[in-house]
Amino acid sequence: MNYININKKKKDINGYIHITGSKSESNRFLILKALFPNLIFLKNISNSDDTLLLNNALFSNKKEININHSGTAMRFLTAFFSIKEKKEVLLTGSYRIQERPISILVETLKKLGANIVYEKEIGFPPLRIIGKKLLGGEIYMNANLSSQFISSIMLIASTFENGLKIFLSKKITSHSYIKMTFKILKKIGLNISWNNNIIYIKNIKFSKKKFKNKKKILIESDWSSASYYYSLVALSKKANLNLKFYKKKSLQGDKIITNIYKIFFNVKTIFKKKNINLKKNFLLKPKTININLNSTPDIAQTIAVTCTGLKKKCILKGLKTLKVKETDRLNALKNELFKLGVKIVLTKNSLKLLNFKKNKKNKYINTYDDHRMAMSFSTLGILYPISILHYNVINKSYPNFWLNLKNLYFIIKNKKI
């Protein structure tokens, strides 16, 4: 089995890193570009496997499309192909993708008139989709599960003859991602409103006045990927790190890391034009760490590992959706943190790090086909040697990550067990 060993002799972080565009933004804009090809020009698109898979699938002539491990592609393409008139496609993916429920999205689309059939188990991929014109109308959606179900339908709703009203029920999970979709639709000029828990998207014919000129979109770099550098700065003795193409006013909910790492981990963010500069702030004393990540669950692993490196007890809440991500992220965290001597208690919605034993030996971290497990645990390499199994999983969201760590003078060696 191949793995990489990560270590760093000097415990400071200095350098300049360019992370490509946000995966979440890129995937949304690519759906819209496929729907309205003459309206959008994109720069700084994500180079992640997820985004490449999605882009290739959007223009594929194949009758069967395999999106591998990409949950985002499965959801966004289910909605997209449902409106591609006279096109029939079998949409499938990896074994893990076929375990992830998709019935809420499929049944909602079917209520709108979509022709979608479960090829195997009811409620799960693979799906056979025969595209047709959808009229729209009104739908009710449970908002306390995956936000991508809602975003998927929002992205295609302006093609519906009668537009679409979405009534959101229950507490909204991953609110920031629905808000991102809303702002992106508004940014390109679509007629959309969101009042209380009702989202109303009108047909594109009501928006054409705003589409006289092609819109040039510079996609902001990925804040989720930036979180690993916040962790490195927090764990370092000294830091002066610059990251390229970030905005003070961001569409991405994970920008909240600027506040979280300032308050709890002494990391200062300075915005300079289109860049950010990260430094240690030794004047602040971290408070007790108790954070609700309901709107931004993707940064939970990074924060848990930062707390482990600093040996700081913490409570992270709002993690309900982590059990149905690339892996069961809560149990994956518990398993791997246990190897590092961490006592961790889980509920369905939270984790608590209670105490820490001294870690001396190099540990092998399993990644569970989850890119965020690999990258979040790798940051411990600034403190002591750590080994990451199945390390190529990072290609899902951030293919240049290991190269960028090498540019920060990490020693990364390829090895075999």
How many other C-beta atoms are found inside a 10 Å radius of the C-beta of residue 347? 11
Assess whether 237 and 364 both reside in one domain.
yes
pLDDT of residue 358: 79
Q: How far is CA 311 from each of CA 278, 302, 306, rounded to the nearest angstrom?
A: 22, 14, 8
Whether omega before 126 lies within 30 degrees of 0, making that bond cis, reads: yes
| Cβ–Cβ < 8 Å for 366, 336 | yes
Q: Is the dihedral of CA 366, 258, 46, 406 positive or negative?
A: negative
Q: What is the CATH number of the domain that holds 391?
A: 3.65.10.10
Q: Are residues 306 and 267 in the same domain?
A: yes
pLDDT at 221: 97
Residue 311 φ/ψ region, left for φ over 0, alpha for ψ in the -120 to 50 degree band, beta for the rest: left
Q: Exposed, middle or buried, 245 (CB in 10 Å: 0-12/13-18/19+)? A: buried
Q: Which of 208, 232, 250 is the last residue of a domain?
A: 208
Name the nearest CA neighbour of 239 among 195, 186, 179, 280: 280
Same domain, 312 and 396: yes
Confidence category of residue 320, pLDDT binned at 50, 70, 90? confident
Does residue 384 have a pLDDT over 60? yes
Calculate helix-pair angle for 257-265, 300-310, nearest 10 degrees: 20
Cα–Cα distances (Å) from 160 to 82, 299, 309, 323, in that order, read: 11, 35, 50, 33
Percent of the chain with pLDDT over 90: 77
Sequence-separated (6 or more) residues with CB below 8 Å from residue 347:
none
Q: What is the pLDDT, as a whole number, of residue 357?
A: 85
| 139 shares a domain with 97 | yes
> Would you name the residues annotated as active-site residues?
298
Q: Are strands 411-416 and 12-17 parallel, antiparallel or unpaired?
A: unpaired
HSE-up of 22 (CA within 13 Å, CB side)? 25
| Residue 126 in this model has a pLDDT that exceeds 70 | yes
Burial 201-234 (b: 16+ CB within 10 A, else e): bbbbeebeeebeeebebebbbbbbbbbbbbbbbb
Are residues 227 and 370 located together in one domain of the fold? Answer: yes
Count of the separate structural domains present in the chain: 2
The answer to whether 226 touches 244, Cβ cutoff 8 Å, is no
When pLDDT is averaged across residues 381-394 and rounded to a whole number, the result is: 95
pLDDT digits (tens, 9 = 90+) for 146-163: 789 999 999 999 999 999
Instruction: Indicate the length of the chain as a whole number.
Output: 417
Using DSSP, state whether 346 is helix, strand or coil. Answer: strand
Residue 243 lies in a domain: yes
Please check whether residues 164 and 249 belong to one and the same domain: no
Pick 287 or 273 by higher pLDDT: 273
The per-residue pLDDT for 282 is 81
* Domain presence at residue 214: no
Q: How far apart are CA 315 and CA 105, in angstroms?
A: 32
Q: Looking at the structure, do residues 40 and 165 belong to the same domain, yes or no? A: yes
Q: Would you place residue 171 in the very low, low, confident or very high pLDDT band (cuts 50, 70, 90)?
A: confident
Of 81-95, 286-300, 349-363, where does the model show the most confidence?
81-95
What angle separates helix 371-378 from helix 300-310, to the nearest 10 degrees?
30
Q: What is the mean pLDDT of residues 299-312?
A: 96
Q: How confident is the model at residue 283 (pLDDT cuts 50, 70, 90)?
A: confident
Are 223 and 196 in contact by the 8 Å Cβ rule? The answer is no
DSSP string, 59-98: T---SEEE-TT-HHHHHHHHHHHHTSTT-EEEEE--TTGG
Same domain (yes/no): 186, 282: no
- Pairing mode, strands 386-389 and 115-118: unpaired
Domain residues for 294? 2-21+221-416
Neighbouring residues of 205: CB distance < 8 A, sequence distance ≥ 6: none
Residue at 388 is within a domain: yes
> What are the residue ranges of helices labelled H in 83-174?
103-111, 147-156
Residue 57 lies in a domain: yes
Kindly state whether residues 114 and 189 are assigned to the same domain.
yes
Answer whether residue 164 is part of any domain: yes
Same-domain status, 78 and 203: yes
Same domain, 169 and 39: yes
Enter the tokens of residue 115.
């022709």
CA–CA distance, 319 with 309 (Å, rounded to integer): 21
- Tokens matching residue 359: 């870690």
Task: Tell how far CA 222 is from the center of its chain.
Answer: 9
| pLDDT value at 211 more than 70 | no
Whole-structure pTM value: 0.89
Q: Are residues 199 and 232 in the same domain?
A: no
- Neighbour tally for 68: CB within 10 Å: 16
Pair 199, 168: CB distance under 8 Å: yes
- Residue 216 domain-assigned? no
Q: How confident is the model at residue 182 (pLDDT cuts 50, 70, 90)?
A: very high
